[in-house]
Chain A
């Protein structure tokens, strides 16, 4: 009856799942470890050290900038830009996509305009945001917002177009008011699309913040990376890149948690199908 009762692999007396997982982890560890080892050896021997730095130098650079507080300050600035721009962009994007799906008039009027705006490469707008909002965090918030907004908007709107009218009809016949119709029927029905847009916009929010900081800034990870590259402090560049990677990974983890919660009804489907 219950899902836990059956393990993924039935019938065959196959190796237990944890053995497979262990093996995969081991292989991955060897590959990544080997790569770092090769990097360390190559640096200064086969390739100039100032071009590729080396893992040990990067680690020392990390300790230095971490202890001086420089890294923390810059990370905090970039984190703020994303932390403000991303949620606002995601929520307004989803909301606009939802409204467009609900109102044909709204969609008819604004759709061509939005499509035209979408045609503009949005990172090209970054200098404009600097002109408008200055070199502080708000211009970067603007760039993050615009990137995140469009991805969330388009995915939500695409989902709204696929919405099964019969679900809406049924809910209304059963007496659902606007609130229940929106939050109990329409948004859940569209949620797979919304989640897709939300998740794809995560790396783009980081791209937005960094692009803005590359162009004009006095602090932030993008500024830090550019400044370090300018004086060939390659190790510091890699430190900045590593922190950015970690930010994206953490954001993805949070998004996964949200996805698992929101799309519970879908993940459960898969597990049952596997059980056959």
Chain B
């Protein structure tokens, strides 16, 4: 039970996951994954689609049971639902029948926060998301970007030890995406909550992360973990010019080029 009292928040130990398909076949989604996430760390997970990166997130959240290995979250093995994590799904998934305010307060109310602290936190996080004045609006009255920000602060508001984000910016257009990445980093720099962020976008993976976990095609394995030595705070809009970006991105791309089985000749064209 008791892990060494270092600053590891999440420890994934030799975790595998196989899914039973309609027939009697088993499909391997994850194969022997081990990973430590430190407190306050921003980790991104990249890989081709179908590599099981979303499955990894769902295992940590306890939404899906694992087939082998174990996951330890804050010195406790994850069995069943892991209510220590906040979860930001691909689509915003705000509860459409609750106002912005009630959505952000949902976790606080569920965990029985006192009224005064609840109101204060709600106010604070709504402001942080730039949604002041929209407290009483319903999600259907928000733009995609606003809904996304509300969805993120809903997960942050009740202070879970880890935030899991499953390609949250996937369906957005490039501009909105960049703005939200910038806002996410600004919020994160204030809160320094531990974030595990799944994406298929290599630039996004490098721009946000302290470390990038690279996964291979199904069954997903961890191919490499690349540290991103860029300083913070980062400027998302000029991320290419920041020192350390090119190096980390090149390393990442090299791995992917391998994965995609591209010949050197072709890859040059693709790269630039």
Question: What is A's interface to B at a CB cutoff of 8 Å?
Answer: 1, 164, 166-167, 169-177, 180, 184-185, 188-189, 191, 264-266, 268-269, 272
Question: What is B's interface to A at a CB cutoff of 8 Å?
Answer: 61, 63, 81-83, 85-87, 89, 91, 93, 95-98, 106-107, 109-111, 133, 138-141, 154, 158
Q: Report the minimum CB–CB distance from B113 to chain A (whole Å).
A: 10
Chain B positions within 8 Å of A164 at CB level = 93
CB nearest neighbor in B for A189: B97
Contact across chains for A169 and B158 when beta carbons are under 8 A apart: no
A-B pairs with the 3 shortest C-beta distances? A174-B107, A188-B97, A175-B110
Q: A171-B110, A180-B109 are in contact. Are A269 and B89 (CB under 8 A)?
A: no
Contact across chains for B138 and A269 when beta carbons are under 8 A apart: yes
Contact across chains for B95 and A167 when beta carbons are under 8 A apart: yes
Chain B positions within 8 Å of A177 at CB level = 110
Inter-chain CA distance A266–B96, complex, in Å, is 8
Partner of B107, one of A169, A175, A266, A268: A175
Chain A positions within 8 Å of B110 at CB level = 171, 174-177, 180
- Is chain B's interface secondary structure helix, strand, loop, or mixed overall? loop
Contact across chains for A166 and B89 when beta carbons are under 8 A apart: yes
Chain A positions within 8 Å of B95 at CB level = 167, 171, 184-185, 188-189
New contact pairs (12) apart from A173-B61, A184-B106, A189-B95, CB-CB < 8 Å: A164-B93, A169-B61, A173-B81, A173-B86, A180-B110, A184-B98, A265-B97, A265-B138, A265-B140, A266-B140, A268-B138, A268-B141
Contact across chains for B82 and A173 when beta carbons are under 8 A apart: yes
Inter-chain CA distance A266–B109, complex, in Å, is 23
CB nearest neighbor in A for B158: A174
Inter-chain CA distance A265–B82, complex, in Å, is 30
Chain A positions within 8 Å of B141 at CB level = 268-269, 272
Chain A positions within 8 Å of B158 at CB level = 174-175
Q: Report the minimum CB–CB distance from B91 to chain A (whole Å).
A: 8
- A sample of 13 inter-chain contacts (CB < 8 A) reads A1-B133, A164-B93, A170-B93, A171-B95, A171-B110, A173-B83, A174-B83, A174-B106, A174-B158, A175-B158, A184-B98, A189-B97, A265-B96
Inter-chain CA distance A164–B61, complex, in Å, is 18
Contact across chains for A169 and B97 when beta carbons are under 8 A apart: no
Contact across chains for B140 and A272 when beta carbons are under 8 A apart: yes
Inter-chain CA distance A173–B151, complex, in Å, is 14
CB nearest neighbor in B for A269: B140
Chain B positions within 8 Å of A167 at CB level = 93, 95
Contact across chains for B140 and A171 when beta carbons are under 8 A apart: no
Chain A positions within 8 Å of B106 at CB level = 171, 174, 176, 184
Q: Report the minimum CB–CB distance from B114 to chain A (whole Å).
A: 15
Chain A positions within 8 Å of B109 at CB level = 180
Contact across chains for A169 and B140 when beta carbons are under 8 A apart: no
Chain A positions within 8 Å of B97 at CB level = 188-189, 191, 265
* From B83, B86, B106, B111, residue with most partner A Cβ within 10 Å: B106
Inter-chain CA distance A64–B85, complex, in Å, is 72
CB nearest neighbor in B for A263: B97
Partner of A169, one of B63, B133, B138, B139: B63
Q: Report the minimum CB–CB distance from A45 to chain B (whole Å).
A: 58
Inter-chain CA distance A89–B248, complex, in Å, is 65
Chain A positions within 8 Å of B139 at CB level = 265
Inter-chain CA distance A268–B95, complex, in Å, is 15
* From B97, B98, B107, residue with most partner A Cβ within 10 Å: B97
Chain B positions within 8 Å of A166 at CB level = 89, 91, 93
Q: Report the minimum CB–CB distance from B29 to chain A (whole Å).
A: 18
CB nearest neighbor in A for B140: A269
Chain B positions within 8 Å of A185 at CB level = 95
Contact across chains for B138 and A172 when beta carbons are under 8 A apart: no
Contact across chains for B93 and A268 when beta carbons are under 8 A apart: no
Inter-chain CA distance A167–B96, complex, in Å, is 10
* From A176, A265, A268, A272, residue with most partner B Cβ within 10 Å: A265
Q: Report the minimum CB–CB distance from B122 to chain A (whole Å).
A: 14
Contact across chains for B87 and A170 when beta carbons are under 8 A apart: yes
Q: Report the minimum CB–CB distance from A192 to chain B (whole Å).
A: 10
Q: Report the minimum CB–CB distance from A258 to chain B (whole Å).
A: 15
Inter-chain CA distance A164–B133, complex, in Å, is 29
Chain A positions within 8 Å of B85 at CB level = 173
Q: A166-B89, A188-B97 are in contact. Are A172 and B107 (CB under 8 A)?
A: no
Inter-chain CA distance A1–B96, complex, in Å, is 20
Chain B positions within 8 Å of A184 at CB level = 95, 98, 106
Chain B positions within 8 Å of A265 at CB level = 96-98, 138-140
